[in-house]
Amino acid sequence: MIIKSISDIREITEELIELREGPYRNHVTKPNIMWKKCLEMMSFIYDLSDESLQKIRLHTGFGFFIGSNWSTCYYEKQEIELGIKKLSESRYIEDYNKLTRNISEEYLCSEIDINRSLISIKYNDLFINEDVLRVQSTISNLSCLSDCNINKYLEVGGGYGGLCNQFRKLFKPRQSIIIDHPEVIFWSAVYTFINNPGCSIEIVNDNSKISNSDFVFIPTYFTNVLENEKIDLLVNENSFSEMTSDQVNYYLDTIPFELLYTNNRDKQFMNNELNSLNSLIVKKLKTAPDLSFYEKIYNKSDMHNQKYHMFASKNIELLPDFDHNNICGLTIRTEF
């Protein structure tokens, strides 16, 4: 279905949830224990009017499951604007400069939402907040693909759509695709619709071949519509570690991707349905860097805060050549 309005997104989301709870209720991708709870907490968004949904970006930040809490950035933004704190003293700007020190200006991220001035610190011509830092960490790592022809970009688990929209702006793929639960597609599709006037947007609601739309949103249980596609880059941030082992294997086996970029913990500490994401990945794919790189950095303590940023592929020749010591986002947000 081609999306022409927010009302279209409401209508198709209801249809997709009914399909999941009906004929696809036993599909391997049905929400696991952890995500059932998350989806319940996010359901309030449907009560907002179409007019209120123009500010959907202001509602992201639920426990970091769909976006970062921006209230602390808002507090510091006010301190700077009132002259209580200097811009040079901002921890957000300090972290942003760390994340961007090894990349060219063409890969600098900035909040793109129409309400960005409300939730961001103005820095030169950029708008910086917690989500921009998270996205910049990934974009800085992906900048080593600058010479690659990324025609089709795909995210499994797109959150509110922040990374997908930034990637499209900076790398300009022909098509950007998100696979997610219908309830989360509602968030990312509304966000994308608001911030991309003029772009074509499709939400898949059957097993038909996908269109040539600029953005395509696919409910998890229709992942197989991609079987005849060629996905140049598959990206997953955090959600693989929040899935069951069967779900991770399903996506790795079903999506016809050339190159994977994963930014995940080996195990999400609240998820008891996955023992080790890394073991699943290295069993199927070659990685760069390999796991021995992380053994030099991480110890056994505080494992739930340790992130693994890796490229992976069945074809070792597709793995990018880059300095692994420049990887951003290895641990918690203030360390890189």
Domains of the chain are: 6-63+149-326 (3.40.50.150), 71-132 (no CATH)
Straight-line distance from the first to the last Cα atom of the chain, in angstroms, rounded to the nearest whole number: 41
Whether omega for the bond prior to residue 197 falls within 30 degrees of 0, making it cis, is no
> For residues 147 and 170, what is the distance between their CA atoms, to the nearest angstrom?
13
- Which two three-digit tokens encode residue 234? 């598959």
Q: Residue 63: which pLDDT band, with cuts at 50, 70 and 90?
A: low
- Is the pLDDT confidence value at 142 over 60? yes
- Give the chain's mean pLDDT: 93
For residue 311, report the phi and psi dihedrals to the nearest 5 degrees: -95, 145
Burial class (CB in 10 A: 0-12, 13-18, 19+), 214: middle
- Is the pLDDT confidence value at 178 over 70? yes
- Is the pLDDT confidence value at 317 over 70? yes
Helix (H, G, I), strand (E, B) or coil at 201: strand
- Is the pLDDT confidence value at 284 over 90? yes
Q: Which residues of 280-316 are buried (b: 16+ CB within 10 A; e: fewer)?
A: bbeeebbbbbeeebbeeebeeeeeeebbbbbbbbeee
Helix (H, G, I), strand (E, B) or coil at 284: helix
* CA 58 to each of CA 4, 74, 120: distance values in angstroms, whole numbers, following the listed order: 22, 11, 11
Task: Pick the range with the lowest mean pLDDT from 67-76, 103-112, 205-214, 309-318.
Answer: 67-76
> For residues 60 and 68, what is the distance between their CA atoms, to the nearest angstrom?
7
Q: Residue 70: which pLDDT band, with cuts at 50, 70 and 90?
A: confident
* CA 163 to each of CA 23, 171, 191, 283, 301: distance values in angstroms, whole numbers, following the listed order: 31, 12, 12, 27, 30
What is the β-pairing status of strands 307-313 and 257-265? antiparallel
For residue 20, report the phi and psi dihedrals to the nearest 5 degrees: -65, -40
Q: What pLDDT, on the 0 to 100 scale, is given for residue 303? A: 65
* CA 108 to each of CA 47, 132, 142: distance values in angstroms, whole numbers, following the listed order: 35, 10, 12
* CA 232 to each of CA 114, 180, 260, 274: distance values in angstroms, whole numbers, following the listed order: 30, 19, 9, 27
Give the helix/strand (H/E) hosting 7: helix 6-21
Residue % of the chain over a pLDDT of 70 = 96
What pTM value is reported for the model? 0.95
Residue % of the chain over a pLDDT of 90 = 85
DSSP bridge partners of 310: 262
Mean pLDDT along residues 255-269: 95
Contacts of residue 187, Cβ cutoff 8 Å, sequence gap at least 6: 42, 45, 56, 60, 66, 159, 160, 161
